[in-house]
């Protein structure tokens, strides 16, 4: 039974959490009470927990606003090149604790709330996650914002303020059920509406070619209302901005031409326009060609580009007069990074603004666009690539279709000159795919319209050049780069694992928090018994804390001395949660066969959301919960094996589970996971990795030493060879008795006695059309898991490997990633300088 931490344990002062000076604490208490008073004076006289949370959030926010204003003034004075990170997703999680960490206020706030008789952790739990993302791509954007601010870049995140973020996942009778994420229900203290920067966005209409140029007329207008959220850098007094657009119908919407008696309906129809920012599409690595999604993509791009050009032209802080009328210098002052193809319309939209509005020649405009834009590719899965039907464009964005056709005409002319008569190559490279329905290939648009194209891990960037975009690499090799992903050590170490951050700081100082390469110094402590003991102790404390959380939230008791074996990520066939299931069943069968053997006890936890329309992924969740029902209730097994499905996996749950994990499962088929970033979070938090040579796992093995990870399975070239030869799942089934037993149990209803045929489709897929070759890696995976179990029995040797892993994490800071984007794509130099705080003399 996990014993709860005492008040004293919870509140021990941790140096990496900042100083709790007496004046500091007194000021915080005063401001807290002031905010609480103004909250309550309005209508109530008894404070709720939520009132206390809002008072604390507003107190902390007060420390941001002066720095925020000063940062923006600083940018106007220095006039640096600005970076615009365009993304349809920003998976931010909670803001309160992260803000306290980056401002060095955590200890002071903890002391202040304690003196006021409140528990800060309890107040933090009231904040809703800002779940405006699906997974890796959206969370990467959030880590990048943190690093850009911490490196002093004049950067802006631009996206959509979805009223409903990623759905909340409930598990009912073992099945996923979705419910709407009404995250703004109680208000959001971290955002500030900026109606003065409202922008019109046009849809539909038609194109007129006149003597004065091209006009896009008879359009429907939707207004984009910006909401700004502060993004604090780590203790450098810089606060950048994330600007998210919300859709508003204009006042005259549908009213100018409504028929008699249509007034009420006209007002109700305003919802149609405002639906654009209603809800995040919940697909990860899957393209769904819906008109509303295309509207969202154009909406964010059109509003953002107006803002970019306004800011480029404006002269002084707070001034409305334009001084820079010559747009040819734009690439020297503006960098636009496209987070996947979702904001690809930035390319034709910027062309439209430059050619139609600013009256530049096509050639001049195109030069500006290409030098300004850069594109990050996030996946090679064909079902994830965006291909929009031409007729959807014709209707919704007729001018953009014309522009894309002209971009393609010139592109095809160039390819035709380089490869005369090679019509097959021209067909492959065209932005327009011919077929039953003509489609626009958005990745091709991005490559042609950008000066830099990058993958997100070394192996992924090589795959792009060798396969999917090989034709483009052949003509423009200089465009292609690698930028291996990273994670922010502020949220993913200092904030979520203060115990580990502290014992590291005791050995090598605190500077590693802004310069993660310094973790290499821990190599000096690999054989230091006291450090080994400390690392193991912190892990055990984190496990106890998570065990208590699990008991409280889900009423499940787990053995905190078991190995915590964790796979948390979106549910997808390529991520091979099914391979994990086969290991669970194999382990279960072995324990039942020889119950008296000294098995290494495991608690296997799997968590993640399935896209609501992805039937196979939902069946995988049902299989996991069904296996759990059998395994967890078998008295022969006892507490040597438990299977838990972690409900509603999200940023806030990741912050709890990752520091408590022993084993990280990163088991995608080689060549399918572009990078992964969860893998890095586990590594930084003292878990060992079992994984394939895929994505960033390859570089993790290189940094920590391959002998310090559990690497198994086919390499990319072996997967390709097996594809050529033809993958025959049945042959593995017939050759490997333990595999056959597991599959027969699944298909025979052993795990679903009430519905014996429940999983027949899943088994049929594995046996006859498994694109991700689960059986091909089964044998090596099981053998590798046996090695994991053996090493876990030797805690000292296990912990030494953990230390090698933590010491090898430096490369995987998003500070390193962003420094490379800055120098190699955006043409700017990062800086670790602090700027003056608002209360300092200037």
Which residue out of 575, 622, 640, 811 is catalytically annotated? 575
543 is catalytic: no
Q: Which two tokens stand for residue 654?
A: 């990741």
Using CA atoms of 504, 507, 508, 509 in order, give the dihedral in degrees to the nearest 10: 80
Q: Is the dihedral of CA 678, 684, 685, 691 positive or negative?
A: positive
d(CA 238, CA 52): 27
Positive or negative, the CA dihedral 50, 52, 54, 56 is negative
Distances (CA, A) of 407 to 103, 297, 644: 47, 19, 52
Helices marked H in 685-751:
697-704, 716-725, 729-735, 737-748
Could you tell me if 739 and 748 are in contact, meaning their C-beta atoms sit under 8 angstroms apart?
Answer: no
Place of tokens 């990467």: 140
Whole-number Cα distances in Å, 798 to 47, 584, 709: 49, 22, 11
- 501 backbone φψ class: left, alpha, beta (φ>0; ψ -120 to 50): alpha
Residue 217, C-beta contacts closer than 8 angstroms, at least 6 positions apart = 205, 206, 207, 208
Strand 602-607 vs strand 373-376: parallel, antiparallel, or unpaired? Answer: unpaired
Contact yes or no for 519/493 (Cβ under 8 A): no
Report the SS3 class of residue 248. strand
Asked if 287 and 614 count as a contact pair (C-beta separation under 8 A), the reply is no
Place of tokens 């993304």: 87
DSSP state, residue 128: P
- Please name the residue ranges forming H helices in 705-824: 716-725, 729-735, 737-748, 760-768, 778-792, 795-807, 814-821
Q: What is the dihedral of CA 276, 278, 280, 286, to 10 degrees?
A: -50
State the catalytic residue, choosing from 99, 484, 488, 677.
677
170 catalytic? Reply is: no
Q: How many CB atoms lie within 10 A of CB 223?
A: 20
List the beta strands (DSSP E) in 262-392.
334-339, 373-376, 387-389
Query: In terms of C-beta density within 10 A (0-12 exposed, 13-18 middle, 19 or more buried), how is residue 314 classed?
Result: middle
Q: Specify whether the CB–CB gap between 223 and 248 falls below 8 A.
A: yes
Residue of 618, 566, 580, 568 lying closest to 777 (CA atoms): 580
Tell me if 146 sits within 8 A of 92, measured CB to CB: no
Residue 677 appears among annotated catalytic residues: yes
Q: 3-class DSSP state for residue 21?
A: coil
Given the residues 61, 514, 681, 801, select the one marked as catalytic. Answer: 681
- Residue tagged active-site, from 35, 63, 139, 378: 378
Contact criterion met (CB below 8 Å) for 243 and 156? yes
Kindly report the CA angle at 134 between 490 and 479, in degrees rounded to 5? Answer: 80
d(CA 353, CA 314): 17
378 is catalytic: yes
**Strands of 60-120, DSSP E:** 82-86, 90-93
Q: Are 627 and 115 in contact (CB under 8 A)?
A: no
Catalytic residue among 63, 139, 352, 570: 570
For residue 507, give both structure tokens: 């050995």
Give Cβ neighbours of residue 38 (< 8 Å, ≥ 6 apart): none
Which of 139, 539, 569, 576 is the catalytic position?
A: 569
Residue 545 annotated to the active site: no
CA gap 366, 448 in Å, rounded: 10
575 is catalytic: yes
Q: In terms of Cα–Cα distance, which of 157, 158, 176, 156 is closest to 167?
A: 176
Residues annotated as catalytic are 378, 569-570, 575, 677, 681
């Amino acid at each position: 039974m996990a014993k709860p931490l005492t008040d004293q344990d919870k509140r021990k002062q941790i140096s990496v959490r900042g100083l709790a000076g007496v004046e500091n604490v007194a000021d915080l208490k005063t401001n807290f009470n002031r905010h609480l008073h103004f909250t309550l004076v309005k209508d109530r006289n008894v404070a709720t927990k939520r009132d206390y949370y809002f008072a604390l959030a507003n107190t902390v926010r007060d420390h941001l606003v002066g720095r925020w204003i000063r940062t923006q003034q600083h940018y106007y004075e220095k006039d640096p090149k600005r970076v615009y990170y365009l993304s349809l997703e920003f998976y931010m999680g909670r803001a309160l604790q992260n803000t306290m960490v980056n401002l060095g206020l955590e200890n002071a706030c903890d002391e202040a709330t304690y003196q006021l008789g409140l528990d800060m952790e309890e107040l933090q739990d009231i904040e809703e996650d800002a779940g405006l993302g699906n997974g890796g791509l959206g969370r990467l954007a959030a880590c990048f914002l943190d690093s850009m601010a911490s490196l002093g870049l004049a950067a802006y995140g631009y996206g959509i303020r979805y009223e409903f973020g990623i759905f909340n996942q409930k598990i009912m009778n073992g099945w996923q059920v979705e419910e709407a994420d009404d995250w703004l229900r109680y208000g959001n203290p971290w955002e500030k509406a900026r109606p003065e920067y409202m922008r019109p966005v046009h849809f539909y209409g038609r194109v007129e070619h006149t003597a004065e140029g091209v006009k896009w007329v008879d359009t429907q207008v939707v207004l984009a209302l910006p909401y700004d959220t502060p993004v604090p850098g780590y203790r450098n007094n810089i606060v950048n901005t994330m600007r998210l657009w919300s859709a508003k119908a204009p006042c005259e919407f549908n009213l100018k031409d409504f028929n008699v008696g249509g007034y009420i309906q006209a007002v109700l129809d305003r919802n149609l326009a405002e639906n654009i920012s209603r809800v995040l599409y919940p697909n990860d690595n899957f393209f769904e060609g819906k008109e509303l999604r295309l509207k969202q993509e154009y909406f964010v791009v059109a509003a953002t580009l107006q803002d970019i050009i306004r800011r480029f032209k404006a002269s002084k802080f707070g001034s409305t007069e334009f001084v820079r009328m010559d747009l040819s210098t734009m690439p020297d002052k503006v960098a636009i990074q496209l987070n996947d193809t979702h904001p690809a319309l930035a390319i034709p939209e910027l062309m439209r603004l430059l050619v139609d509005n600013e009256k530049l020649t096509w050639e001049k405009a195109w030069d500006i666009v290409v030098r300004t834009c850069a594109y990050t590719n996030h996946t090679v899965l064909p079902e994830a690539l965006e291909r929009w039907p031409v007729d959807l464009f014709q209707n919704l964005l007729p001018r953009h279709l014309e522009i894309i056709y002209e971009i393609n005409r010139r592109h095809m002319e160039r390819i035709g000159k380089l490869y005369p008569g090679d019509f097959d190559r021209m067909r492959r490279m065209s932005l327009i795919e011919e077929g039953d329905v003509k489609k626009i290939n958005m990745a091709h648009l991005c490559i042609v319209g950008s000066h830099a194209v990058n993958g997100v891990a070394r192996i992924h960037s090589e795959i792009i050049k060798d396969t999917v975009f090989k034709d483009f690499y052949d003509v423009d090799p200089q465009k292609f780069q690698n930028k291996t992903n990273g994670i922010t050590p502020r949220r993913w170490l200092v904030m979520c694992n203060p115990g580990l951050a502290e014992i590291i700081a005791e050995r090598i100082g605190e500077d590693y928090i802004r310069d993660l390469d310094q973790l290499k110094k821990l190599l000096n402590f690999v054989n230091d018994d006291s450090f080994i003991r400390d690392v193991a102790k912190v892990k055990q404390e984190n496990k106890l804390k998570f065990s208590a959380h699990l008991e409280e939230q889900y009423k499940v008791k787990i053995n905190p001395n078991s190995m915590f074996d964790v796979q948390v990520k979106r549910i997808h066939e390529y991520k091979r949660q099914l391979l994990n299931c086969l290991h669970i069943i194999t382990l279960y069968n072995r324990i039942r066969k020889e119950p008296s053997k000294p098995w290494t006890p495991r608690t296997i936890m799997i968590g993640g959301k399935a896209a609501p329309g992805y039937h196979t992924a939902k069946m995988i969740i049902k299989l996991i919960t069904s296996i759990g029902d059998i395994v967890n209730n078998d008295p022969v097994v006892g507490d040597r094996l438990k299977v838990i499905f972690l409900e509603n996996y999200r940023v806030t749950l990741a912050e709890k589970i990752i520091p408590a994990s022993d084993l990280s499962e990163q088991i995608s088929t080689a060549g399918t996971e572009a990078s992964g970033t969860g893998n890095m979070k586990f590594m930084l938090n003292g878990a060992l990795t079992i994984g394939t040579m895929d994505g960033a796992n390859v570089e993790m093995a290189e940094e920590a030493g391959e002998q310090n990870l559990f690497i198994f399975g086919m390499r990319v070239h072996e997967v390709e060879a097996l594809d050529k030869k033809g993958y025959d799942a049945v042959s593995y089934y017939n050759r490997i008795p333990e595999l056959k037993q597991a599959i027969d149990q699944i298909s025979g209803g052993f795990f679903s006695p009430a519905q014996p045929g429940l999983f027949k489709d899943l088994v049929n897929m594995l046996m006859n059309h498994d694109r991700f070759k689960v059986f091909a890696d089964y044998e090596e995976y099981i053998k590798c898991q046996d090695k994991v179990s053996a090493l876990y029995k030797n805690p000292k040797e296990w912990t030494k490997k953990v230390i090698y892993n933590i010491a090898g994490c430096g490369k995987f800071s998003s500070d390193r990633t962003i420094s490379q984007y800055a120098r190699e794509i955006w043409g700017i130099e990062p800086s670790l300088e602090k700027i003056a705080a608002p209360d300092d003399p200037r």
